[in-house]
């Protein structure tokens, strides 16, 4: 587990790959983002933006969260305080996603001496190196006790 003292600006963390299946894309969309370009290949082909079935951006975000928790093991968990998120390119069935995290800043708390705020940049890539998601996130990270 990583504590505030363990982190430095520029530290990088890289996750394993995760494959997005057509079944999972449709299941997630059916439950959380039921739009034709996430659910139906024929309708998705007609979409002037996607030109084919695309995973919900929220699905890509959820998978990114899973991969974060595996490659960036912060003591106490990834307790978010702020995030800015973009999806520059759609995630497609068969895409193998991995995430790369880079620490951008570390600021000790001004009011609580047991923690700080860590800002990091995440990019989710597919197997071709295309960026599917970019986020700037701030999390609370605790110091070691004692």
> Torsion angle, CA of 2/67/12/115, rounded to 10 degrees?
-30
**Structural domains counted in the chain:** 1
Residue range 66-96, pLDDT digits in tens: 999 999 999 999 999 999 999 999 999 999 9
60 — pLDDT class (breaks 50, 70, 90): very high
Task: Name the band, by pLDDT with cuts 50, 70 and 90, for residue 145.
Answer: confident
Give pTM, 2 decimals.
Answer: 0.94
Q: How confident is the model at residue 28 (pLDDT cuts 50, 70, 90)?
A: very high
Domain membership of residue 102 as a residue range? 4-142
Residue 146: predicted pLDDT? 59
Find the CATH number of the domain harbouring 77.
3.10.129.10
Chain centroid to CA 7: 19
What's the first-to-final CA gap in the chain, in angstroms? 16
**Close Cβ partners of 24 (under 8 Å, ≥ 6 residues apart):** 59
Query: Rounded to an integer, what distance in angstroms lies between the CA atom of residue 7 and that of residue 141?
Result: 10
User: Would you tell me how many other CB atoms lie within 10 Å of the CB of residue 87?
Assistant: 19
């Amino acid at each position: 587990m990583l504590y505030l003292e363990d982190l430095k600006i520029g530290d990088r963390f890289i996750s394993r790959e995760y494959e997005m299946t057509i079944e999972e894309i449709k299941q997630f969309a059916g439950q959380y983002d039921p739009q034709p370009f996430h659910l139906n290949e024929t309708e998705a082909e007609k979409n002037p933006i996607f030109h084919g079935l695309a995973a919900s951006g929220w699905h890509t975000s959820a998978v990114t969260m899973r991969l974060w928790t595996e490659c960036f093991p912060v003591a106490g968990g990834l307790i978010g305080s702020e995030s800015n998120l973009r999806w520059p390119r759609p995630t497609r069935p068969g895409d193998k996603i991995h995430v790369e995290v880079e620490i951008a800043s570390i600021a000790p708390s001004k009011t609580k001496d047991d923690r700080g705020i860590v800002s990091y940049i995440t990019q989710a890539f597919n197997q071709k190196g295309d960026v599917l998601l970019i986020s700037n996130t701030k999390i609370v990270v605790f110091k070691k006790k004692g």
